[in-house]
Structures are given as structure tokens and as C-alpha cells.
Amino acid sequence: MEVAIALMGRKLKDKSLTFILWASMFAVILILFGILGFVIVQGAGALSIEFLTQPPRNSMTEGGILTPIVGTIQLILVSIAFSLPVGICTAIYLAEYAKDDIFTTTLRLAIRSLAAVPSIVYGLFGLSFFCITLKFNPSLLSAGLTLGCIALPLIVGAAETALLAVPQSLRYASYALGASKWQTISKVVVPTAMPSILTGAILSVGRVAGETAPIMFTGAAFFTPGIAKSLFQEVMALPFHVYVLATAGTSIDKTRPLQYGAILVLLILVLGITLVGIIMRARLSRRRYLM
């Protein structure tokens, strides 16, 4: 009798846990699709050829969002151009060269802590260091480098994990063929880990593309007459453009469809970049498997 009761209790706990897990999964999916559905319903009506190909006009109550779209892409490119090589080099040092001592442990802890720093702190740092100390002034370069600092700990963490996951047997096989340590790293270890490194880069793009506070201090403009043609010009960006329309526009209610339209375009842009990264990762993985 006691055994039967114990078995019933275990089955009840198992079913309860299964129900909680399924309910949690459906809750997350419901929230995700609820947000996406709300943005799509509210913003789809604003999408048009003119909206995507024309700059804002008439105090940003009319026209499109071409300038903020291009500015957002420019910021992403500058941030990744800075953070990806620096992040990979840092990860190579930590995974392949650094000794397991207090300095390395402290460095890893500092990098992980940077990933949790509020974006407003990065904005103030970018303003003080890039804009004032280095005299870049509020510009595409200052804003892009600030966003690169935000992406850096994400890329370092993902790249180091990917490098450490490469089997030691591959390194030993390379050494057995007479390759040096750097040849082994550059020709064997990094190419093998590259798909996972790209995952970190994709996550960092999704993070920096939607940031508003850092670029507000370092290079985002309320309005510019055209696309930035120099790294030292200010740029418009979709996150800051939405913020301006929602808080400082001349006719906030009138621009509500434009706000949701810009948000929808930003989501599509981030998803598009993520999709490209996933395809690149799949191709690299397939090529590595064939080799």
C-alpha cells in the first residue's frame, strides 16, 4: 500500500512538473508572438515604398525612414568592424595563451561583468572618451565604437567558449605535422570554432541594433538632411528615431503609425541580419564537415 502511494506521488510530481514546463514554454511563445503580432498589426499599415525609400520630412510627421535605416546599418557595421576582430583576438589570448592565474581569472570576471553593465553607462563612457578625450565629437564613429564596446564582451565570451570546445586532438594532429602554435590556431582552431563565433556576433548585432541610450550621447541626431558620408558626421538611427517620434515630435499622436512602422522595420532588419548569420554559420559548418 505504501509503495503504491509512493508511486502515485511520484507520478503526480512528474505530471505536475511536465505541466509546468509546457505551460512555461507556451507562455514564452504567447508573449513573443503577442509582441510581434501587436507590432505587425500596428505598423504594417505604415509600410510602403515611399516609407522605405524617402527621408523624413515636415518635422518628421511625413515621409519615410530611409535615413534612419541606413544610419542603423552604418552603426552596426562600424561596431562589428571594431568588436569582432578585437573580441576574437582577446578570446584567442584567453583560450590559447593565457595562464590559469589570478590575472586571467580577473580578466574573465571583468569581461563577464561588462556584459551586465547598463547601456546608459556605455553612453556616458563613449561621450567622455570617444567624443571628448579623443575629440571624435558626436559622430558615426563615436556611436559605432560605443556600440562596439557593448558587443565586445558578448563576442569574447562566445568566441572563447567556441575555441575551448575545439578538441585537443586536432591541435595535437596539427603539431604532429610540424605546424607552429600560431599556424595551428589560425588554420585549425579558429576555422573550426568559427560557426560558434558567428553565433556570438549575431547575438551582439541583435543587442546593439536596438540600443538607444548609448547613441543618444555619442552620435545619433534628431534630424539630418541626408545620409552620413563620413565617419565624423552624425547619423539618424531607427531606435533613436522612434524615441524622438514618441517623446519629442510635434504631433505625437499623428506619428503613431510611423513609430510602429519604424519598430517593425527594425525588427525585420535585425531578423534579416540574424538569418544571414545563420546561413553563413550553416555553410561554414557544412564546409568544415566536408573537409
CA distance 141 to 62: 29
CATH dotted code for 50-290: 1.10.3720.10
Domains of the chain by residue range: 50-290
Between CA 262 and CA 171 the distance in angstroms is 48
**What is the rounded distance in angstroms from the CA atom of residue 241 to the CA atom of residue 232?**
19
pLDDT at 288: 59
pTM: 0.86
Give the pLDDT score at 99: 86
Q: How far apart are CA 63 and CA 26, in angstroms?
A: 39
User: What pLDDT score was predicted for residue 183?
Assistant: 92
Give the Cα separation of 44 and 39 in Å (integer): 8
Predicted pLDDT at 250: 63
pLDDT for the residue 56 = 87
* pLDDT digit string (tens) for the chain, length 291 residues: 566 666 676 777 788 888 898 999 999 999 988 988 888 888 888 888 888 888 888 777 778 889 999 999 999 999 999 999 999 999 999 999 988 888 888 989 999 898 889 999 999 999 999 999 999 999 999 999 999 999 999 999 999 999 999 999 999 999 998 888 999 999 999 988 988 888 888 888 888 988 999 999 999 888 888 888 999 999 999 999 888 888 876 667 777 888 889 999 998 888 888 888 788 777 776 665 555
